[in-house]
Amino acid sequence: MKTQVAIIGAGPAGLLLGHLLRAEGIEAVIVDRVSADYVLGRIRAGVLERTTTDLMDRLGLGERMHAEGLPHDGFNLADGERLIHIDIAGLTGKQVMVYGQTEVTRDLMDAAPERGLQIIYGAENVALHDIESDAPYITFTKDGTEQRIDARFLCGCDGFHGPSRQAIPASIGQTFEKVYPFGWLGILADVPPCNHELIYANHAHGFALASMRSMTRSRYYIQVPLDDRLEDWPDDRLWDELAVRLGPNAASHITRGPALEKSIAPLRSFVFEPMRHGSLMLAGDAAHIVPPTGAKGLNLAASDVAYLSDALIRYFRLADNDAIAGYSDKALARVWKSERFSWQLTMLMHRFPDSGAFDRRVQVAELDYIASSVAAQTSIAENYVGLPL
């Protein structure tokens, strides 16, 4: 099989890229090692920046998002009984959209056949070849038969553990990483949210987050030690702890219910440079991971795709090599700003096991400053809603 662009990974980054290329008449094929049902079963982010919603609208795929999603004008930082409201709409003139990553993925999947975007699921043993040439290709096994796709460019949208980043020689790549000494225990339940906007809480027991997927489905998280197990946290204990950490006002509005999904996720900050080598470009989690505190994971992947699709379109339409050459530097400039914001919010709202009284006093001073400073709130709002491309 031959195509202009072969995309490894059928998550939202790969699907968005494929749709943007097909909208410009550029040939693209997506391969993924797992099934479509497995992809849709992943429970991921739920807060979309303007960049992400604009891409869905640009593709004409935003109708369900606008009908079912929840536009939010702000969010809250809690510290004890104090609630600091960050008025995103008032400070930036923009909103964020609460709409689950699963729903974004479903919308992109459903539109693929009609728009001529081919997706090959169950592609095992994917390998990338000749990425330093102008004629790279991938091989994989499908139903026991080895197959090959020749392309002009390969795009790795296959996540942190995929083969794309590993295809770049160790002598070329550089890794930057910070591993945090705790994880997030999350619960998804079909209950109404305790507040109409998200609450990020700093408590003596650790961080907590009250979020939602809809007005009838809530997503909550608490900070836990990395060696905690799900068996340590039956539903009742988790609900009790959420009530303590989120504070009395939020606790009075929490509706309890059985977990639809419960998991513990480690937190890390990770960046791989460069995001392009030869004819291979990386996007999304293949190149970077952010702690979920700043709601940047999916949104950062979407901004990568915006830059990458523009570069590929300019190459195929205008024979513009400069856009391809500049993709990595352009994407990384925004990546590092998002990494900074996610790290900053993580440091502010979590309790670290090795921190002492001084560190806590600094957190309180920073929260005091945010509560009293329009400039500080504007900076947070600008970063949360998404910096311009």
Whether the CB-CB separation of 108 and 117 falls below 8 Å is answered with no
Average pLDDT over residues 278-287: 98
Question: Over the Cα atoms of the chain, what is R_g?
Answer: 21
**Catalytic member of 180, 200, 307, 327:** 200
Q: Which fold, 5-47+100-176+268-346?
A: FAD/NAD(P)-binding domain (3.50.50)
pLDDT score of 332 more than 90: yes
Place of tokens 């197990």: 229
Average pLDDT over residues 240-252: 95
Instruction: Dig out the tokens for 344 from the structure.
Output: 């900053």
H or E stretch at 128: strand 124-129
pLDDT digits (tens, 9 = 90+) for 110-166: 999 999 999 999 999 999 999 999 999 999 999 999 999 999 999 999 999 999 999
Active site residue 180: no
Model confidence band, residue 42 (pLDDT cutoffs 50, 70, 90): confident
The proportion of the chain whose per-residue pLDDT surpasses 90, expressed as a percent, equals 94
Average pLDDT over residues 28-48: 86
Active site residue 384: yes
pLDDT at 135: 98
Question: What does residue 149 show for φ and ψ, rounded to 5 degrees?
Answer: -125, 120
Grouping H, G, I as helix, E, B as strand and the rest as coil, residue 61 is coil
pLDDT at 119: 97
Model confidence band, residue 190 (pLDDT cutoffs 50, 70, 90): very high
pLDDT digits (tens, 9 = 90+) for 44-88: 678 999 999 999 999 999 999 999 999 999 999 999 888 999 999
Q: Which of 147, 165, 143 is nearest to 156 (CA)?
A: 165
**Catalytic member of 19, 203, 288, 296:** 296
H or E stretch at 198: none
Average per-residue pLDDT for the chain: 96
Return the domain boundaries, the chain: 5-47+100-176+268-346
pLDDT score of 38 more than 90: no
Active site residue 94: no
pLDDT at 43: 65
**Catalytic member of 99, 307, 315, 384:** 384
Whether the CB-CB separation of 49 and 342 falls below 8 Å is answered with no
Amino acid at 12: P
**Catalytic member of 12, 19, 72, 288:** 72
pLDDT score of 41 more than 80: no
pLDDT score of 37 more than 90: no
**Catalytic member of 292, 307, 315, 327:** 292
Active site residue 296: yes
Active site residue 142: no
Please calculate the CA angle 79-268-49 and round it to the nearest 5 degrees. 70
